[in-house]
Protein backbone atom coordinates (compact mmCIF):
# COMPACT_ATOMS: atom_id res chain seq x y z
CA UNK A 1 0.00 0.00 0.00
CA UNK A 2 2.77 2.42 0.89
CA UNK A 3 4.47 1.69 -2.43
CA UNK A 4 1.28 2.48 -4.35
CA UNK A 5 0.71 5.66 -2.35
CA UNK A 6 4.28 6.85 -2.87
CA UNK A 7 4.17 5.98 -6.57
CA UNK A 8 1.17 8.09 -7.49
CA UNK A 9 2.10 10.98 -5.20
CA UNK A 10 5.71 11.23 -6.29
CA UNK A 11 4.94 10.70 -9.96
CA UNK A 12 2.44 13.54 -9.81
CA UNK A 13 4.93 15.73 -7.94
CA UNK A 14 7.64 15.18 -10.55
CA UNK A 15 5.18 15.80 -13.38
CA UNK A 16 3.90 18.98 -11.71
CA UNK A 17 7.40 20.37 -11.21
CA UNK A 18 8.27 19.48 -14.79
CA UNK A 19 5.21 21.25 -16.21
CA UNK A 20 5.84 24.30 -14.03
CA UNK A 21 9.47 24.57 -15.16
CA UNK A 22 8.48 24.13 -18.81
CA UNK A 23 5.79 26.83 -18.56
CA UNK A 24 8.21 29.30 -16.97
CA UNK A 25 10.84 28.51 -19.60
CA UNK A 26 8.35 29.04 -22.43
CA UNK A 27 7.23 32.35 -20.94
CA UNK A 28 10.77 33.63 -20.53
CA UNK A 29 11.63 32.48 -24.05
CA UNK A 30 8.72 34.50 -25.44
CA UNK A 31 10.06 37.75 -23.99
CA UNK A 32 11.92 40.11 -26.31
CA UNK A 33 15.04 41.89 -25.06
CA UNK A 34 16.31 44.82 -27.05
CA UNK A 35 19.90 46.06 -27.19
CA UNK A 36 18.96 48.97 -24.97
CA UNK A 37 17.61 46.54 -22.35
CA UNK A 38 20.82 44.52 -22.55
CA UNK A 39 22.85 47.66 -22.01
CA UNK A 40 20.73 48.68 -18.99
CA UNK A 41 20.98 45.20 -17.50
CA UNK A 42 24.76 45.30 -17.94
CA UNK A 43 25.08 48.48 -15.90
CA UNK A 44 23.97 46.67 -12.70
CA UNK A 45 22.44 49.90 -11.41
CA UNK A 46 19.23 49.31 -9.40
CA UNK A 47 17.18 52.06 -11.03
CA UNK A 48 18.32 51.15 -14.54
CA UNK A 49 17.74 47.46 -13.87
CA UNK A 50 14.20 48.19 -12.67
CA UNK A 51 13.46 50.22 -15.80
CA UNK A 52 14.79 47.47 -18.06
CA UNK A 53 12.76 44.79 -16.29
CA UNK A 54 9.60 46.88 -16.58
CA UNK A 55 10.22 47.38 -20.28
CA UNK A 56 10.88 43.67 -20.86
CA UNK A 57 7.75 42.49 -19.04
CA UNK A 58 5.49 45.23 -20.44
CA UNK A 59 2.41 43.75 -22.11
CA UNK A 60 3.20 40.19 -21.03
CA UNK A 61 0.87 40.03 -18.01
CA UNK A 62 -2.07 38.71 -20.03
CA UNK A 63 0.05 36.00 -21.63
CA UNK A 64 1.46 35.00 -18.23
CA UNK A 65 -2.01 34.75 -16.70
CA UNK A 66 -3.27 32.63 -19.59
CA UNK A 67 -0.31 30.27 -19.34
CA UNK A 68 -0.72 29.90 -15.58
CA UNK A 69 -4.47 29.29 -15.93
CA UNK A 70 -3.82 26.50 -18.45
CA UNK A 71 -1.11 25.09 -16.16
CA UNK A 72 -3.39 25.08 -13.11
CA UNK A 73 -6.25 23.41 -14.99
CA UNK A 74 -3.86 20.79 -16.38
CA UNK A 75 -2.45 20.07 -12.93
CA UNK A 76 -5.96 19.76 -11.47
CA UNK A 77 -6.93 17.18 -14.09
CA UNK A 78 -3.62 15.35 -13.74
CA UNK A 79 -3.95 15.22 -9.94
CA UNK A 80 -7.53 14.00 -10.19
CA UNK A 81 -6.56 11.14 -12.50
CA UNK A 82 -3.51 10.15 -10.43
CA UNK A 83 -5.36 10.40 -7.11
CA UNK A 84 -8.27 8.35 -8.48
CA UNK A 85 -6.06 5.46 -9.57
CA UNK A 86 -3.83 5.49 -6.50
CA UNK A 87 -6.51 6.07 -3.89
CA UNK A 88 -8.83 3.43 -5.35
CA UNK A 89 -6.09 0.79 -5.12
CA UNK A 90 -5.16 1.83 -1.58
CA UNK A 91 -8.73 1.91 -0.30
CA UNK A 92 -9.57 -1.49 -1.80
CA UNK A 93 -6.62 -2.98 0.04
CA UNK A 94 -7.51 -1.26 3.33
CA UNK A 95 -11.18 -2.26 3.18
CA UNK A 96 -10.19 -5.86 2.46
CA UNK A 97 -7.76 -5.85 5.39
CA UNK A 98 -10.22 -4.49 7.95
CA UNK A 99 -13.33 -6.23 6.66
CA UNK A 100 -14.95 -8.57 9.19
CA UNK A 101 -16.62 -10.73 6.55
CA UNK A 102 -15.18 -14.22 6.37
CA UNK A 103 -15.88 -14.76 2.70
CA UNK A 104 -14.35 -12.69 -0.13
CA UNK A 105 -16.20 -9.45 -0.74
CA UNK A 106 -16.67 -8.18 -4.28
CA UNK A 107 -15.77 -4.51 -4.58
CA UNK A 108 -16.03 -2.29 -7.63
CA UNK A 109 -13.44 0.35 -8.47
CA UNK A 110 -15.92 3.26 -8.86
CA UNK A 111 -13.42 5.27 -10.92
CA UNK A 112 -15.98 7.81 -12.14
CA UNK A 113 -17.33 8.63 -8.67
CA UNK A 114 -13.85 8.93 -7.14
CA UNK A 115 -12.63 11.05 -10.05
CA UNK A 116 -15.54 13.46 -9.62
CA UNK A 117 -14.87 13.66 -5.87
CA UNK A 118 -11.18 14.35 -6.42
CA UNK A 119 -11.96 16.96 -9.07
CA UNK A 120 -14.42 18.69 -6.72
CA UNK A 121 -11.80 18.55 -3.98
CA UNK A 122 -9.19 20.19 -6.19
CA UNK A 123 -11.62 22.86 -7.40
CA UNK A 124 -12.80 23.68 -3.89
CA UNK A 125 -9.21 23.91 -2.62
CA UNK A 126 -8.41 26.32 -5.46
CA UNK A 127 -11.50 28.40 -4.62
CA UNK A 128 -10.52 28.54 -0.92
CA UNK A 129 -6.94 29.60 -1.72
CA UNK A 130 -8.18 32.22 -4.18
CA UNK A 131 -10.60 33.61 -1.58
CA UNK A 132 -7.81 33.75 1.01
CA UNK A 133 -5.51 35.53 -1.46
CA UNK A 134 -8.23 38.05 -2.33
CA UNK A 135 -8.74 38.71 1.39
CA UNK A 136 -5.00 39.31 1.80
CA UNK A 137 -4.93 41.78 -1.10
CA UNK A 138 -8.05 43.58 0.14
CA UNK A 139 -6.62 43.73 3.68
CA UNK A 140 -3.37 45.27 2.42
CA UNK A 141 -5.33 47.84 0.41
CA UNK A 142 -7.42 48.69 3.47
CA UNK A 143 -4.27 49.09 5.56
CA UNK A 144 -2.82 51.56 3.07
CA UNK A 145 -6.10 53.51 3.04
CA UNK A 146 -6.06 53.58 6.88
CA UNK A 147 -9.31 51.68 7.30
CA UNK A 148 -8.43 49.53 10.29
CA UNK A 149 -11.79 47.83 10.83
CA UNK A 150 -12.10 46.67 7.23
CA UNK A 151 -8.45 45.58 7.18
CA UNK A 152 -8.93 43.51 10.35
CA UNK A 153 -12.08 41.93 8.90
CA UNK A 154 -10.35 40.84 5.68
CA UNK A 155 -7.08 39.76 7.29
CA UNK A 156 -8.62 37.93 10.24
CA UNK A 157 -12.15 36.78 9.52
CA UNK A 158 -11.84 36.56 5.74
CA UNK A 159 -8.70 34.43 5.72
CA UNK A 160 -9.90 32.36 8.70
CA UNK A 161 -13.29 31.59 7.19
CA UNK A 162 -11.75 30.77 3.82
CA UNK A 163 -9.37 28.26 5.32
CA UNK A 164 -12.01 26.86 7.70
CA UNK A 165 -14.62 26.17 5.03
CA UNK A 166 -11.95 25.04 2.61
CA UNK A 167 -10.45 22.62 5.13
CA UNK A 168 -13.80 21.14 6.23
CA UNK A 169 -15.12 20.49 2.72
CA UNK A 170 -11.70 19.29 1.58
CA UNK A 171 -11.78 16.75 4.43
CA UNK A 172 -15.24 15.48 3.43
CA UNK A 173 -14.22 15.20 -0.22
CA UNK A 174 -11.13 13.25 0.87
CA UNK A 175 -13.15 10.84 3.05
CA UNK A 176 -15.99 10.19 0.58
CA UNK A 177 -13.97 7.84 -1.72
CA UNK A 178 -13.82 5.37 1.17
CA UNK A 179 -17.59 4.89 0.95
CA UNK A 180 -17.47 4.75 -2.84
CA UNK A 181 -15.18 1.72 -2.60
CA UNK A 182 -16.74 0.17 0.50
CA UNK A 183 -20.42 0.57 -0.37
CA UNK A 184 -20.27 0.91 -4.18
CA UNK A 185 -21.74 4.41 -3.83
CA UNK A 186 -21.85 7.17 -6.38
CA UNK A 187 -20.68 10.72 -5.85
CA UNK A 188 -23.74 12.06 -4.03
CA UNK A 189 -24.28 8.87 -2.04
CA UNK A 190 -20.64 8.79 -0.96
CA UNK A 191 -20.78 12.39 0.25
CA UNK A 192 -24.02 11.73 2.12
CA UNK A 193 -22.58 8.61 3.75
CA UNK A 194 -19.43 10.51 4.72
CA UNK A 195 -21.54 13.18 6.44
CA UNK A 196 -23.67 10.53 8.18
CA UNK A 197 -20.50 8.76 9.30
CA UNK A 198 -18.94 11.92 10.77
CA UNK A 199 -21.87 13.54 12.58
CA UNK A 200 -22.30 10.99 15.42
CA UNK A 201 -18.53 10.51 15.78
CA UNK A 202 -17.26 14.07 15.91
CA UNK A 203 -15.39 13.52 19.16
CA UNK A 204 -13.55 10.40 18.06
CA UNK A 205 -12.69 11.81 14.64
CA UNK A 206 -11.48 15.06 16.20
CA UNK A 207 -9.29 13.10 18.59
CA UNK A 208 -7.85 11.07 15.74
CA UNK A 209 -7.15 14.23 13.77
CA UNK A 210 -5.39 15.91 16.69
CA UNK A 211 -3.34 12.80 17.43
CA UNK A 212 -2.11 12.41 13.86
CA UNK A 213 -1.50 16.15 13.61
CA UNK A 214 0.80 15.97 16.64
CA UNK A 215 2.61 13.00 15.12
CA UNK A 216 2.99 14.91 11.86
CA UNK A 217 4.41 17.94 13.68
CA UNK A 218 6.86 15.79 15.64
CA UNK A 219 7.98 14.05 12.45
CA UNK A 220 8.35 17.37 10.61
CA UNK A 221 10.33 18.92 13.47
CA UNK A 222 12.63 15.91 13.69
CA UNK A 223 13.36 15.86 9.97
CA UNK A 224 13.92 19.62 9.87
CA UNK A 225 16.52 19.26 12.61
CA UNK A 226 18.18 16.47 10.66
CA UNK A 227 17.98 18.53 7.46
CA UNK A 228 19.67 21.59 8.96
CA UNK A 229 22.15 19.50 10.95
CA UNK A 230 23.43 18.07 7.67
CA UNK A 231 24.55 21.57 6.66
CA UNK A 232 27.45 21.23 9.09
CA UNK A 233 28.97 18.74 6.65
CA UNK A 234 29.36 21.33 3.88
CA UNK A 235 32.99 22.00 4.86
CA UNK A 236 33.86 18.29 4.73
CA UNK A 237 31.70 17.00 1.85
CA UNK A 238 31.55 18.07 -1.80
CA UNK A 239 28.61 20.17 -2.92
CA UNK A 240 27.20 17.37 -5.09
CA UNK A 241 27.11 14.96 -2.16
CA UNK A 242 25.50 17.64 0.00
CA UNK A 243 22.69 18.04 -2.51
CA UNK A 244 22.23 14.26 -2.61
CA UNK A 245 22.13 14.02 1.21
CA UNK A 246 19.60 16.84 1.54
CA UNK A 247 17.42 15.36 -1.23
CA UNK A 248 17.50 11.98 0.51
CA UNK A 249 16.41 13.56 3.81
CA UNK A 250 13.56 15.37 2.02
CA UNK A 251 12.40 12.12 0.40
CA UNK A 252 12.48 10.34 3.78
CA UNK A 253 10.32 13.10 5.24
CA UNK A 254 7.77 12.85 2.43
CA UNK A 255 7.68 9.05 2.74
CA UNK A 256 7.05 9.33 6.49
CA UNK A 257 4.31 11.91 5.94
CA UNK A 258 2.62 9.62 3.41
CA UNK A 259 2.89 6.73 5.87
CA UNK A 260 1.17 8.80 8.56
CA UNK A 261 -1.60 9.68 6.11
CA UNK A 262 -2.07 6.00 5.34
CA UNK A 263 -2.23 5.25 9.06
CA UNK A 264 -4.92 7.90 9.52
CA UNK A 265 -6.88 6.52 6.58
CA UNK A 266 -6.57 3.04 8.08
CA UNK A 267 -8.00 4.36 11.34
CA UNK A 268 -11.04 5.72 9.47
CA UNK A 269 -11.55 2.40 7.68
CA UNK A 270 -11.27 0.48 10.96
CA UNK A 271 -13.73 2.83 12.63
CA UNK A 272 -16.21 2.42 9.78
CA UNK A 273 -15.93 -1.38 9.93
CA UNK A 274 -16.29 -1.49 13.72
CA UNK A 275 -19.38 0.70 13.66
CA UNK A 276 -20.96 -1.34 10.87
CA UNK A 277 -20.92 -4.47 13.07
CA UNK A 278 -21.68 -3.20 16.60
CA UNK A 279 -23.36 -6.41 17.75
CA UNK A 280 -20.41 -8.59 16.83
CA UNK A 281 -17.95 -6.21 18.52
CA UNK A 282 -20.11 -6.20 21.66
CA UNK A 283 -20.27 -9.99 21.74
CA UNK A 284 -16.49 -10.19 21.49
CA UNK A 285 -15.94 -7.83 24.43
CA UNK A 286 -18.58 -9.20 26.87
CA UNK A 287 -17.56 -12.50 28.48
CA UNK A 288 -20.11 -15.30 28.44
CA UNK A 289 -22.35 -15.63 31.45
CA UNK A 290 -21.59 -18.56 33.75
CA UNK A 291 -23.94 -21.50 33.57
CA UNK A 292 -26.38 -21.84 36.47
CA UNK A 293 -25.52 -24.55 38.99
CA UNK A 294 -27.26 -27.85 38.43
CA UNK A 295 -29.41 -29.37 41.12
CA UNK A 296 -27.36 -32.04 42.85
CA UNK A 297 -29.31 -34.52 44.93
CA UNK A 298 -27.91 -34.93 48.45
CA UNK A 299 -26.31 -38.25 49.16
CA UNK A 300 -28.09 -39.99 52.05
CA UNK A 301 -25.71 -41.13 54.75
CA UNK A 302 -26.15 -44.75 55.89
CA UNK A 303 -27.85 -45.25 59.29
pLDDT digits (tens, 9 = 90+) for 228-247: 887 777 777 777 788 888 88
33 within domain boundaries:
no
70 within domain boundaries:
yes
- CA-nearest of 112, 289, 293 to 185 is 112
Find all residues with CB under 8 Å of 263, minimum gap 6, and list them.
212
173 within domain boundaries:
yes
CB-based contact 6:261 (threshold 8 Å): no
Cα 234 to Cα 221, 245, 249, 252: the distances in Å are: 21, 11, 15, 20
pLDDT at 101: 60
195 within domain boundaries:
yes
Domain count for the chain, please give it: 1
226 within domain boundaries:
yes
Query: Domain range for residue 257?
Result: 59-97+108-275
Q: Residue 34 belongs to what H/E stretch?
A: none
CB-based contact 171:206 (threshold 8 Å): no
Give the separation between CA 233 and CA 246, rounded to whole angstroms: 11
- CA-nearest of 220, 224, 210 to 256 is 220
Instruction: Give, for all 303 residues of the chain, the pLDDT tens digit.
Output: 778 888 888 888 888 888 888 888 887 777 777 777 777 777 777 777 777 777 777 767 777 788 888 888 889 999 989 888 888 888 888 888 877 665 445 556 778 888 999 999 999 888 888 888 888 888 888 888 878 788 888 888 888 888 888 888 888 888 888 888 888 888 889 888 888 888 888 888 888 889 989 999 999 999 989 888 877 777 777 777 888 888 888 889 988 998 998 888 888 888 887 766 554 444 444 555 555 555 555 555 554
Amino acid sequence: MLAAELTWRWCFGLAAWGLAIISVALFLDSLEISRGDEFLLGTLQPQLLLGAVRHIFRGSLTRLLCEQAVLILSLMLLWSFAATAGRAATLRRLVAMFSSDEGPQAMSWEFVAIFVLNLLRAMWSLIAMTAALVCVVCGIIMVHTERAAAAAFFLAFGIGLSWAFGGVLNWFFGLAPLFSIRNDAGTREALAQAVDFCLPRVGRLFGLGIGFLMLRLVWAGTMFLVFFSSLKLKHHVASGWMVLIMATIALIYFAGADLLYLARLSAYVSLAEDDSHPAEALEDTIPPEPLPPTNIEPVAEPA
